[in-house]
Chain A
């Protein structure tokens, strides 16, 4: 190992110990196990800084944090799935003795034997790990695909097609009380009639033109091409709005982490 690497690692280790001691000292008056409390916060802070170090360049600390995350994440989901669904839903339907062992209420039923089917399918799914018997996993995969396809077919048809088309049929003249009333009360007020009318026209035409843009079976020429162009403009506004919200979302995550570093680790803010 190079000398500079050893110096850097020693410096980081020293910094870790120093901040651990300082953090524990500040927690001594409020926590019983202040050393452990200080260690936990310091370790979290160092993991945070290890990830942030990627901004300078890829390095072993980032790789350590990344690999740790992968391992912990997989195990977390396995543990949660086991306790909530296997112990919570499956075992109470299959075995009285196991239910008593796990202290969950047994759910007797005449047709509970059918719940061995997902167990068998689940074991077949695990055979994916074998190159020789991996084809067994096709059965549970088929079950999963069939479930999703069947559920989504009806729900998307209703909520994302019929309801959306229905919601596009908006009144194109809002609160209409005659031409005279319209012009006498004309304003660019955000809650005014004109803005509401323009908004509804934009929604009605925008949806139609947006859908026309995605219709690639016909050449985008003439009136169809003009409508397609309007559709692109509407979509560009949509993407611009999405970009603005995305920036907001990403900044919020950074604010959260820096707040943790300043408040929980360094104690600079309350």
Chain B
């Protein structure tokens, strides 16, 4: 019962989604299922928030390592939640967008969330540079091909590449770095990405079938429960 009913649900919903594509009268049912999904997705957000609270409250209670930072997490969580759910400072009132300019939610987003997330990803620029110096070696033919392609793209995507090879005449213009970069993107890159895309596409199709037919059941978790 604990595993059989979910498998039946997956089968029924999956079949509705597939057959509605070919049988237009089923389209309404498919869209209702999509709308159901949207609502469940929001509950998944609540689940994420609830899990966060559970982990950090547990850390606080047991005074685990770095428990002080859990206060920061929970403090930020509750302040943002209050700002968002209660629409604190929202000039438009209850009907307005939660991100109306001037609302506390939008202010916290602009001055806390945005710099934090942007900077976390900006750190990657430094690590890419460090990896370029330490790790990217032309150890064999394949690695050399990769590095040459990377070089052409790096040069070609900057105005310096144009300046470097502007002297090449029109009859050999494919050898100008920017044109070479464009050709690499439109031909070998396209071919490689398409091969990968077809492979992934076939994988997704087969996995979808396995899930719908109940052959793949790992999403149900532990078999003993």
Contacts and interface: CB of A to CB of B under 8 A. Distances in A.
Interface of A: 40-41, 43-45, 47-48, 51-52, 54-55, 63-86, 89-90, 102-104, 114-115, 117-119, 121-123, 125-126, 128-129, 134-135, 138-154, 156-157, 159-161, 164-165, 167-168, 187-192, 195, 198-200, 202-207, 209-211, 213-214, 231-248, 250-251, 253-254, 256-257, 260
B72 to A, nearest CB: 4
In this complex, the member of A65, A147, A231 whose beta carbon has the largest number of chain B beta carbons within 10 angstroms is A147
B15 A207 contact: no
B58 to A, nearest CB: 12
Contacts of B201: 156-157, 159-161, 164
A105 to B, nearest CB: 10
Nearest to A41: B111
A55 B123 CA distance: 8
Contacts of A246: 128
A200 B87 CA distance: 56
B81 A78 contact: yes
A129 B9 CA distance: 22
A117 B157 CA distance: 52
Interface of A is mostly: helix
Contacts, number: 430
A205 B195 CA distance: 11
A146 B69 contact: no
Interface residues of B, number: 136
A76 B193 contact: no
Contact of A78 (B33, B46, B179): B46
Contact of A153 (B118, B175, B212): B212
A62 to B, nearest CB: 10
Nearest to B66: A63
Interface string B194-225: 11111111101101110110000001110001
Nearest to B70: A67
B21 interface: yes
Interface of B: 2-3, 5-7, 9-18, 21, 32-52, 54, 66, 69-70, 72-81, 83-85, 87, 93-95, 98-99, 105, 107-126, 128, 132, 142-143, 145-154, 157, 170-176, 179, 182-202, 204-205, 207-209, 211-212, 219-221, 225
Contacts of A55: 123, 126
A117 B43 contact: no
A117 B193 CA distance: 41
Q: Is the interface of B mostly helix, strand, loop or mixed?
A: helix
Given A125-B43, A189-B170, A72 B112 contact: yes
Contact of B48 (A54, A74, A145, A232): A74
A40 to B, nearest CB: 4
B154 to A, nearest CB: 5
Contacts of A79: 80-81, 83-85, 98, 105
A238 B80 contact: no
A244 B80 contact: no
**Residue among A117, A146, A245 with most chain B CB within 10 A:** A146
B198 A165 contact: yes
B148 A44 contact: no
B6 A139 contact: yes
A68 B72 contact: yes
26 contacts: A44-B114, A72-B108, A72-B116, A76-B113, A78-B48, A79-B80, A115-B36, A122-B39, A123-B43, A126-B50, A142-B10, A152-B208, A153-B18, A153-B208, A188-B171, A190-B183, A195-B183, A207-B198, A237-B149, A238-B192, A239-B192, A240-B151, A241-B188, A247-B132, A256-B118, A260-B115
B22 to A, nearest CB: 8
A149 B198 contact: no
A186 B183 CA distance: 18
B51 A63 contact: no
Given A44-B111, A129-B50, A146-B17, 15 more contacts: A47-B112, A75-B81, A78-B84, A79-B80, A85-B39, A129-B47, A139-B9, A145-B10, A145-B211, A146-B211, A160-B204, A164-B201, A210-B196, A211-B198, A250-B121
